[in-house]
Structure 1
Amino acid sequence: MTTPHDTRTQTTAAGTESQTLSNAPTKQLSAFSAIAIIVGIVIGAGIFKTPSMVAGVTGDAGWLIVAWVLGGVISLAGALCYAELATTYPHAGGDYHFLARAFGKPASFLYAWAKATVINTGSIALLAFVFGDYMSKVIDLGAHSTALWAIGIVVAMTLINLIGLHAASWVQTCLTMIEVTGLLCVVVAGFVLSGEAPASPALFSSSPSLGMFGLSMVFVLLTYGGWNEAAYISAEVRGGKRAIVPVIVISIMLLTLIYLLFNIAVLAGLGLSGLAGSKAVAADLMGKAFGPWGEKALGVFVAVSALTSINATMIVGARTNYALGRDWPALRFMGNWHAGRGSPVAAYCVQSLLSLALVGLGIWQTDGFEVMVEFTAPVFWAFLFLVGVSLFVLRVKDPEVERPFKVPLYPLTPVLFCLTCAFLTYSSVTYAMSKGAVYISLLVMAVGVVALVITHLSNKRA
């Protein structure tokens, strides 16, 4: 839907816009920067927590490795589905745009509502608390040190992103390189200590039940989560429509390799029993290898990991708000693209304010981090399932549209992806219901439905 300030041409059959106006995204991202953004989103604090959970659930080193390999395969299947959607319909709105074309604007509005109020802003708040926790060990700011660090980093990263995508992507590239280097240091420490770790049982000497292995996949795929955000930058990657394909594939392959090396290293350094019993895998390993200074250095490293994910999540999250503003006149203030800065300024500001509100809420919650994770997971996987289904719907609705890239082994690949999303939706809802967090998600989405009705009525008047 065009606004009075638009000078863009009409939407094409594929849904892409010949965007010649000043407030439209431009192709300014190199493939390397795009890979850094994706890797930065995915590699976060999760990799320092989930390996011990997976080890405890599987109870076998062989099945632990299988789980991480399978996680990479499933993520690649999903990434290939996204590659077809992103090359056929390149748009700064990503998933929002795919859902709008497949199911209509109400579905895409609810998705954008979920992203703005729960998924992205919740992730930013959670990561800000992780950053605050670890930075407080380096520089303690007093009784509310964690909250002060969290608020400060949300504001600081928002200001960096407001400067423009070039500055944000440069920061992201540097942070990702530091993050990956730190992970490799942990890997080296693991192999250095390999001779001192307790002996582990032979590979595949025991097998977990199907239910327990399924639970391990929930943890694994949670750690792989975030690769889908590549769709939001597809319209800004240099090199034509197909340029996003190698970016997505290389990112997933690189992530799988890093995660495998990390898990093999901590297995070598701590042994299966040591890994399963650890609450801070990397800290235990670095402390064992290098003493107290190693543990403190790891605190800075984990803070950098959280910082990397915050920055990357901000980059892609603001683009959902931007797409929402472009399509709904009542929210058009978020649909302006600042030509000089190459970023949606208003969309960033809204995202920052909501994230700060969640940080404020978390200050008075003793288990705020856990609660936020619980109520974001069901919403995230449910909408990801719908995006997978949209691939089938759009092939039927738009048979004549040129597809620069088609997902291989169709329909098996998207079916695998959709079944995985359905399973994770069920698992996360079941887990959240046991703690009551799913009701918070339902309340937030109910408010979203009310907002949809109000916005729809406002659109009719516009």
Structure 2
Amino acid sequence: MPGLDRKLTLYGLTMIAVGSCIGSGIFVTPYEVAAAVPHQGIILLVWILGGLIALTGALTFAELGGMFPTAGGVYVFLREAYGPFAGFLYGWTILLVINTGALAALGIALAEYLSFFYAFSASAKIGIAIGVIAGLTLFNLVGVSASQWLSNVFTGLKLLAIAGLIGLGFWFYDAQQVTFDPFTTHNLPDNILSASLLALVGVLWSFGGWHHASYLAGEAVEPQRTVPRAMVLGALIVTLTYVLVNIGYMLLLPVEAIAQTTRVAGDAAAVVLPAGGQIMTVAIAISIFGTIGIYTMSAPRIYFAMARDKVFFPQLAKVHPRFHTPAAAMLVQAAWAVLLLLFWGTFSDLITYVTFMDIAFMALAGGSIFYFRRKQPERDRVYRCWGYPLVPGIFVFISTAFVLNTLYQRPVQALAGLFMLGLGMAAFRFFRHK
């Protein structure tokens, strides 16, 4: 029976961690952050907070990834700590909510940016999104080496484009046109804490993805070492990139302008370059395209691991005899992402629906480190979480606060996610009985 190939290097896994985060978020969600907290300093603090959450999570998951270097990542952490039921619910939610919802949102974002060149209808945008998701799924079926090449190329291109945008901000900053003063006391929101937690929806959506490296541990070279390093390096690179690019935005545009545009990168570049909008639109489309490529490849390893554990459809455990990829799992994911596209259809609803459930499970998985330290103290740990127990404690606390705030502020999308979770409970009983 064919198995998965171990061909992913540290560089390849790091590019996957970075590319999974940097998709559409940093180009689309800054307007939501600026609308929630219209203050330069608070905006930067919210993005830094998002980076700290990602970094504390990466440090926590680095220890877990070194302990369980097999395909499935977070699913395996939850299964080993809390039992097969918790692991199944995560995989179920990844398939029906988190990863497929992210694919649908990314597909819509890509179509929106392409509409900069041509006024596509709403149905045409959905058609574009479906075509891209299907096409990249088929490309990733060819093998993990092809997937690694795609990730390396497109992540490199998006980092170059962002570096160019940051350079424009610092080089062409004009204090007479835009005032950059993050320490001013003007425009502070009445309830800074609540507004900041609401702004974190877009921020955490933008940071989501660094843990995708753990899904691919079954195909990594020396996974005990490469997976933890890739997640930490990915979180650090993305945090630095996001803080700098937000400064770049604010050096070219006032906060009021950022809060009113869903094309902040294009508008910022257009301030100093006649064709800046078109250039950034192409760069962003490339960025989103690359992230869709990673998402269509990474999460199916979870469904593959679930099926191998006999808690999901057994067909999803099959590996393609020629390409050595979990082909059935990848095709099922693509099909459900298409259904979500047809059902939700709006970017804002999709990212709230996705981020709420994603962070809830991230908090639960992060908490598993305390269980393993207490129950398995003698287990070999290639990497030990720096700052334990404070670092994982911060990650779990802030993530939990975010989940509770989202349930209060955006109940419709949050309850939709919880409904899918309830269906997962019934599905688990069905598969266990079978």
Corresponding residue of 1:203 = 183
Which of 241, 254, 258 is 1:258 aligned to? Answer: 241
Indicate yes or no: 2:428 matched with 1:452: yes
Shift of 1:330: 5.4
Distance 2:35 2:128 in 1: 33
Shift of 1:123: 0.9
For the 8 Å contact 1:200–1:272, the answer to whether it is kept is no
After TM superposition, the score normalised by the length of structure 2 is 0.92
Shift of 1:127: 0.9
Count of aligned pairs between the two proteins: 430
Alignment of 1:140-155 (within 5 A): 144-155=123-134
Corresponding residue of 1:228 = 211
Deviations 1:240-260 (A, max 9, x none): 512223222221121112112
Alignment of 1:311-460 (within 5 A): 311-328=293-310, 331-338=313-320, 340-362=322-344, 365=345, 368-433=346-411, 436-458=412-434
Paired residue type of 1:400: E
Shift of 1:361: 2.6
Distance 2:408 2:385 in 1: 31
Distance 1:134 1:278 in 2: 12
For the 8 Å contact 1:72–1:224, the answer to whether it is kept is yes
Shift of 1:44: 1.6
Distance 2:241 2:272 in 1: 20
Deviation beyond 4 Å, 4+ runs, structure 1: 139-143
Distance 2:182 2:15 in 1: 37
Shift of 1:398: 2.1
Indicate yes or no: 2:61 matched with 1:86: no
For the 8 Å contact 1:60–1:201, the answer to whether it is kept is no
Taking a change above 3 Å as real, the CA distance of residues 146 and 279 of structure 1, as seen in their structure-2 partners, is closer
Distance 2:198 2:125 in 1: 31
Distance 1:73 1:29 in 2: 27
Larger mean Cα displacement after TM superposition, 194-203 or 411-420: 194-203
Which of 22, 40, 43 is 1:64 aligned to? Answer: 43
Corresponding residue of 2:103 = 124
Taking a change above 3 Å as real, the CA distance of residues 271 and 239 of structure 1, as seen in their structure-2 partners, is same
Distance 2:122 2:250 in 1: 37
Shift of 1:101: 0.7
Deviations 1:43-82 (A, max 9, x none): 1211123333334444433333333223222211110110
Corresponding residue of 2:147 = 168
Taking a change above 3 Å as real, the CA distance of residues 415 and 78 of structure 1, as seen in their structure-2 partners, is same
Paired residue type of 1:44: G
Corresponding residue of 1:40 = 19
Shift of 1:384: 1.1
For the 8 Å contact 2:41–2:181, the answer to whether it is kept is no
Taking a change above 3 Å as real, the CA distance of residues 231 and 51 of structure 1, as seen in their structure-2 partners, is same
Larger mean Cα displacement after TM superposition, 160-169 or 226-235: 226-235
Corresponding residue of 1:281 = 264
Q: Which structure carries more relative contact order (alpha carbon 8 Å, separation 6+)?
A: 2
Aligned CA RMSD, in angstroms, stands at 2.2
Corresponding residue of 1:295 = 277
Shift of 1:201: 4.2
Deviations 1:350-373 (A, max 9, x none): 1111112222334xx5xx333322
Deviations 1:426-446 (A, max 9, x none): 12211221xx22332232222
Paired residue type of 2:417: S
Paired residue type of 1:134: Y
Paired residue type of 1:269: L
- Which sections of structure 1, spanning at least 5 residues, go unmatched? 6-21
Distance 2:138 2:105 in 1: 19
Distance 2:197 2:416 in 1: 25
Q: Tell which structure's C-alpha radius of gyration is larger.
A: 1
Corresponding residue of 1:191 = 170
What SS is found at the alignment partner of 1:289? coil
Larger mean Cα displacement after TM superposition, 173-182 or 439-448: 439-448
Taking a change above 3 Å as real, the CA distance of residues 145 and 218 of structure 1, as seen in their structure-2 partners, is closer
Deviations 1:378-432 (A, max 9, x none): 2212111110111111222322211111101211111001001101111221122
Percent identity at matched positions? 29
Corresponding residue of 1:19 = none
Distance 1:143 1:78 in 2: 37
Distance 1:216 1:375 in 2: 15
Taking a change above 3 Å as real, the CA distance of residues 202 and 340 of structure 1, as seen in their structure-2 partners, is closer
For the 8 Å contact 2:197–2:402, the answer to whether it is kept is no
